[in-house]
């Protein structure tokens, strides 16, 4: 007989972030399609059931917590929200009773984005390494000092606790769960079906210098940044970049610093190291990684240790199975 499907319980409540629920739900349902069998049974639950409105105004049908026995749940994920909805759900008696019981019995439990505050308020993050949205990291660490907040990671696993940084990172984390359950080929197929640009490992930073600069920079520099990203192994010094921008070197340096908040050299180093960190997760030789990002192995080692506090080899060893 086929094993019973894993029940994935996604906790929603009035004012929740819609993608925190629909992102993971899409991953697990797509995994069923890829496997051509019902490995996952996705349930959206809420304190009292019925239609629950998200922060975007879109409402979803939910099952009441009282009708979902905690012992049946394989994976529990709590959606995030803005502060007022979070305060209300944390104070909800049904949530305060059901969530700890479910977390104790589930094979894994966790949160997406600021859903970590619900777990923290219930004492479920004490002594654990956790992630949440970058904007809420300091607040979570200040309110719940017993939790070790990782301000950089996209998602974190600590035992059976899984927490993700924010919104779309719930998709990355759910893909990692699928890979853990049924293997990388299925998770990669799901990612392709969802038309994701790339599968992001948990250790990848949620602070992308490339994205930040594209948001901050004016149009000519946004185009230049796209060009730089595809030429990391080339010479990317100020004369080259200034010529590409049609500016004098002095004018380019001044305008680039004002637009991105980083000197050209610091920005190039940042995007090279971000790319190296991703490539290290692919088991490529260190010489290949360094060549692809335009650094010598020695320079990569020095820059990597200075930025991340450990060597590329040690980083790869620590994150090999994450």
Q: What tens digit of pLDDT does each residue of 173-186 get?
A: 999 999 999 998 89
Band (pLDDT 50/70/90 cuts) for residue 9 is very high
What pLDDT does residue 19 have? 94
Of the listed ranges 61-65, 71-75, 153-157, the least confidently predicted one is: 153-157
Residues 176 and 277 in one domain: no
Same domain for 26 and 149, yes or no, is yes
On whether both 259 and 117 belong to a single domain, the answer is: no
Cβ contact 8:42 at 8 Å: yes
Least confident of 148-157, 216-225, 263-272: 216-225
Domain match, 189 and 50 both: yes
CA–CA separation, 194 and 252 (whole Å): 39
Residue 188 resides in a domain? yes
Kind and range of the H or E run holding 11:
strand 6-11
> Any idea what the CATH number is for the domain that residue 267 is in?
1.10.10.60
Instruction: Label residue 193 by pLDDT band (50, 70, 90).
Output: confident
Residues of the chain with pLDDT > 70, as a percent, come to 89
State how far the Cα of 249 lies from the Cα of 55, in Å rounded to an integer: 47
Q: Do 134 and 230 share a domain, yes or no?
A: no
CATH number for the domain spanning 87: value is 3.40.50.880
* Helix spans in 194-248 (H): 209-216, 219-229, 238-245
Pairing of the two strands 59-64 and 148-149: unpaired
Question: Residue 260 is part of which domain span?
Answer: 209-319
- Distance separating alpha carbons of residues 58 and 44, to the nearest angstrom: 14
Write the CA distances from 179 to 191, 279, 315, integer angstroms. Answer: 11, 19, 21
Q: Is residue 230 situated within a structural domain? A: yes
Q: Where are the beta strands (DSSP E) in 150-222?
A: 155-158, 161-164
Q: Are 62 and 51 in contact (CB under 8 A)?
A: yes
* Nearest C-alpha neighbor of 12 from the set 122, 108, 95: 95
Considering the entire predicted model, what is its pTM? 0.67
Per the structure, how many domains does the chain have? Answer: 2
Give Cα 128 distance to the centre of its chain.
17
Give the CA radius of gyration of the chain.
22
Does residue 212 carry a pLDDT above 60? no
Q: Are residues 184 and 240 in the same domain?
A: no
Among residues 139, 164, 193, the one where a domain terminates is 193
Q: Are 163 and 116 in contact (CB under 8 A)?
A: yes
Q: Are residues 218 and 143 in the same domain?
A: no
pLDDT tens readout for residues 17-31: 999 999 999 999 999
Q: Can you tell me the distance from the alpha carbon of 187 to that of 276, in angstroms, rounded to the nearest whole number?
A: 23
What is d(CA 142, CA 136) in angstroms, rounded to the nearest whole number? Answer: 10
Co-location of 31 and 179 in the same domain: yes
- pLDDT tens track for 88-100: 999 999 999 999 9
Which neighbouring-strand residues pair with 164?
112, 155
48 inside domain:
yes
């Amino acid at each position: 007989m086929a094993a019973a499907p894993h029940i994935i319980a996604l906790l929603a409540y009035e004012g929740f972030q819609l993608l925190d629920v629909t992102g993971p739900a899409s991953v697990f349902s797509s995994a069923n399609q890829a496997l051509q069998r019902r490995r996952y049974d996705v349930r959206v639950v809420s304190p009292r059931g019925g239609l629950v409105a998200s922060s975007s105004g879109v409402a979803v049908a939910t099952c009441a917590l009282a009708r979902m026995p905690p012992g049946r749940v394989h994976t529990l994920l709590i959606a995030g929200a803005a502060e007022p909805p979070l305060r209300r759900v944390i104070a909800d008696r049904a949530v305060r009773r059901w969530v700890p019981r479910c977390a104790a019995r589930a094979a894994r439990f966790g949160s997406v984005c600021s859903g970590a505050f619900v777990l923290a308020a219930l004492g479920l993050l004490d002594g654990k390494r956790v992630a949440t949205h970058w904007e809420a990291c300091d607040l979570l660490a200040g309110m719940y000092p017993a939790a070790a907040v990782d301000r950089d990671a996209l998602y974190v696993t600590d035992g059976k606790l899984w927490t993700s940084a924010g919104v779309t990172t719930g998709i990355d984390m759910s893909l990692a769960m699928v890979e853990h359950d049924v293997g990388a080929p299925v998770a990669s197929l799901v990612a392709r079906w969802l038309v994701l640009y790339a599968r992001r490992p948990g250790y990848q930073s949620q602070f992308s210098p490339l994205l930040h600069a594209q948001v901050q920079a004016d149009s000519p520099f946004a185009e230049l940044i796209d060009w730089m990203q595809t030429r990391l192994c080339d010479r990317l010094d100020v004369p080259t970049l200034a010529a590409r921008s049609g500016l004098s070197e002095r004018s380019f340096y001044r305008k680039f610093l004002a637009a991105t908040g980083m000197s050209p050299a610091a920005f190039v180093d940042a995007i090279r190291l971000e790319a190296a960190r991703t490539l290290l997760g692919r088991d490529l030789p260190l010489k290949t990684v360094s060549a692809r990002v335009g650094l010598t192995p020695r320079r990569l080692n020095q820059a990597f240790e200075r930025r991340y506090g450990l060597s590329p080899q040690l980083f790869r060893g620590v994150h090999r199975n994450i």
